[in-house]
Structure 1
Amino acid sequence: MATPLISAQELQERLDDVTVLDVRYRTDAPAGRDAHEQGHVPGAVYVDLDTELAAPPGAGGRHPLPDAEAFEAAMRRAGVRDDRPVVVYDDWSGLAAGRAWWLLRHHGHRDVRVLDGAWPAWVEAGGEVATGPSAPPAPGDFTARPGQMPVVEADEVLGVPVVVDARAPERYRGETEPIDPVAGHVPGAVNVPTTTNLRVDGRFRSPAELRALYAAAGVTGDEPVAVYCGSGVTAVHDVIALELAGIRAALYPGSWSGWITDPDRPVAGPTSGSP
């Protein structure tokens, strides 16, 4: 299996041989198409996270996984082929691009990588910048074969020996909750925020550094691991970091926004008296 990352320099060298997807997205900003048109990797196709990489919000949380047929159709529209490598990027430290990486891997694509350092790394490396809308690509032939990445659902989460919460520490502790209606975390979960996966230059830490970072939180790979965040999107950043560290982690797609749709599920945090 290919490494989950690609450098800006390597992407420049391989640009003619890969399909590039621009997954601009932020929770605090409008959809990223405008940003894409202001500047993107040449040939990159914009993919909308809310409509093409997620199902409508509901009991499964704010960003449930799309069904296989819808995802396959979206990737074919973006020109994704089974036999051609894919590179995904965003301008949000890989937090959104990771969702596309995970979905493609989960649905059977064998060579998908996230641009390490995201859009700033491309610009810093002197990569060519295209503007305006991308030309529609030739339709792809990607065939979705779901089930290639580990997943846990809500009724399985409490049975996973090691559960990682990828959100900011203050959200994990339940001191603030800017998005979801209930604050706190899944009982027993440990907190490894996505921001700690990166060096100051915005690129992922080395495998050795990541192993030490997660081991300090009790995540060693000796027992099964599951990761969640607010809506199942940014948790993939921790999944990628753990893969770099040599640890395979399952994703809880519903994450916190799905967990709290059932009031009978336990919540830990300041108001509960539980760690």
Structure 2
Amino acid sequence: MQSLVSTAWLADRLGTPGLIVLDATFVPVQPNPPRDEAAEYAAAHIPGARFLDLRGLSTGQATSLPAADKFAQRIGAIGVGQDAQVVLYDNSPHHTAARAWWLFRRFAPALPVAILDGGFAKWRSEGRQGESGEAVTEPVRFVADPDLAAVRTKAMILAGDGAQLIDARSPGRFDGSEADPRGLPSGHIPGSSNLHYARFFRDDGTWRSPEELAALFAGEGVDLDRPVTTTCGSGITAAIPAFALHLLGRDAALYDGSWSEWAADPQTPKVTA
């Protein structure tokens, strides 16, 4: 299974034993009125899909890295076994299937996991069937196999490791001209480059081609042969450039605390430009 699969590919394989579809919709910056991801899933989802609940996969904050046993408990509770193949999709402006993919890479690196290109919006735009209600699944035991080598902390960023920092937030939040939605100081980590997560997608929500992705990184002066660490507001959209690099055959680290942690510390250096 490729890391990025089409709606046609998935439609042809729905119901295949061992293939599990997970709804990874999460809206970290809520509109007014707020969205209820679980209720939206119950109202309409890809047939047979199960709700991942990214919001619940945390250690107290919605976007913090969960403990390995918490991840394993949640995955086992929705019936995902060690021999499964997983396809992730979302219906979020933040393309949160990428965050779910990144978590699987950290806690179940051997498990085949793919992202559905274009997500639920493309599935529905093509007139494909949806269903409502909750998926009935039998819990199984899932054992996490953590590989946290690609997780970066604030201390690691402060120490510096020579990696190129890519910030996936909007240009306004990056340069400080736009207020931070969490009320934090504006700006960015010194030395980082800005590559807004929305630029990785076409107008229909599908991922750009490998050639286009490579050109995006090159346009910001990113050397794909050197280490890269991605960051954003809270570790969610930072997974998007990380997945783009994966599609290009490269690995990336991710600073999970991102700007929410960095900006909250009055001692960390901050740049506006």
Q: Is the pair's TM-score, using the shorter chain for normalization, greater than 0.5?
A: yes
Deviation at 1:86, TM superposition (A): 0.5
Q: Which residue of the partner structure matches residue 31 of structure 1?
A: 36
Residues 64 and 121 (structure 1), Cα distance of their counterparts in 2 relative to 1, 3 Å cut: same
Quick one: distance in 2 between partners of 1:141 and 1:121?
Answer: 33
Query: Does structure 2 retain, via aligned residues, the 8 Å contact 1:221–1:247?
Result: yes
Does 126-135 or 235-244 show the bigger shift? 126-135
Question: Is the partner of 2:22 in helix, strand or coil?
Answer: strand
Quick one: distance in 1 between partners of 2:154 and 2:172?
Answer: 23
Quick one: distance in 1 between partners of 2:148 and 2:4?
Answer: 18
Q: Which residue of the partner structure matches residue 125 of structure 1?
A: 126
Quick one: distance in 1 between partners of 2:187 and 2:93?
Answer: 25
Quick one: distance in 2 between partners of 1:149 and 1:89?
Answer: 25
Q: Deviations over 1:233-257 (max 9, x none)?
A: 1110111111112221111111110
Query: Does structure 2 retain, via aligned residues, the 8 Å contact 1:54–1:63?
Result: yes
Question: Is the partner of 1:234 in helix, strand or coil?
Answer: coil
Quick one: distance in 2 between partners of 1:233 and 1:226?
Answer: 14
Deviation at 1:182, TM superposition (A): 1.4
Quick one: distance in 1 between partners of 2:182 and 2:89?
Answer: 24
Q: Which residue of the partner structure matches residue 12 of structure 2?
A: 13
1:185 paired to 2:199: no
Quick one: distance in 1 between partners of 2:105 and 2:208?
Answer: 22
Deviation at 1:93, TM superposition (A): 5.1
Q: Deviations over 1:138-189 (max 9, x none)?
A: 1133211111661211111241430000011100111111224111110010
Residues 205 and 123 (structure 1), Cα distance of their counterparts in 2 relative to 1, 3 Å cut: same
Residues 128 and 36 (structure 1), Cα distance of their counterparts in 2 relative to 1, 3 Å cut: same
Question: Is the partner of 1:232 in helix, strand or coil?
Answer: coil
Deviation at 1:194, TM superposition (A): 0.6
Query: Does structure 1 retain, via aligned residues, the 8 Å contact 2:77–2:139?
Result: yes
Q: Which residue of the partner structure matches residue 164 of structure 2?
A: 162
Q: Which amino acid aligns with 1:56?
A: G
Question: Is the partner of 1:240 in helix, strand or coil?
Answer: helix
Q: Which residue of the partner structure matches residue 80 of structure 2?
A: 80
Q: Which residue of the partner structure matches residue 150 of structure 1?
A: 150
Quick one: distance in 1 between partners of 2:90 and 2:249?
Answer: 24
Query: Among 230, 233, 244, which residue is 1:227 paired with?
Result: 230
Deviation at 1:42, TM superposition (A): 1.1
Question: Is the partner of 1:260 in helix, strand or coil?
Answer: helix
Quick one: distance in 2 between partners of 1:141 and 1:13?
Answer: 28
Question: Is the partner of 1:142 in helix, strand or coil?
Answer: coil
Deviation at 1:81, TM superposition (A): 1.2
Q: Deviations over 1:191-233 (max 9, x none)?
A: 0111000112210001111001101112122211000111101
CA RMSD of aligned residues (A): 1.7
Question: Is the partner of 2:151 in helix, strand or coil?
Answer: coil
TM-score, normalised to structure 2, is 0.91
Quick one: distance in 2 between partners of 1:96 and 1:238?
Answer: 12
Quick one: distance in 1 between partners of 2:154 and 2:99?
Answer: 19
Which stretches of structure 1, 4 residues or longer, exceed 3 Å deviation after superposition? Answer: none
Quick one: distance in 2 between partners of 1:161 and 1:74?
Answer: 33
Q: Which amino acid aligns with 2:176?
A: G
1:252 paired to 2:251: no
Q: Which amino acid aligns with 1:46?
A: F
- Aligned pair count reads 263
Query: Does structure 1 retain, via aligned residues, the 8 Å contact 2:153–2:256?
Result: yes
Residue ranges of structure 2 left out of the alignment (5+ in a row): none
Deviation at 1:258, TM superposition (A): 1.3
Query: Does structure 2 retain, via aligned residues, the 8 Å contact 1:105–1:149?
Result: no
Q: Which residue of the partner structure matches residue 3 of structure 1?
A: 2
Residues 267 and 78 (structure 1), Cα distance of their counterparts in 2 relative to 1, 3 Å cut: same
Quick one: distance in 2 between partners of 1:181 and 1:201?
Answer: 32
Residues 110 and 217 (structure 1), Cα distance of their counterparts in 2 relative to 1, 3 Å cut: same
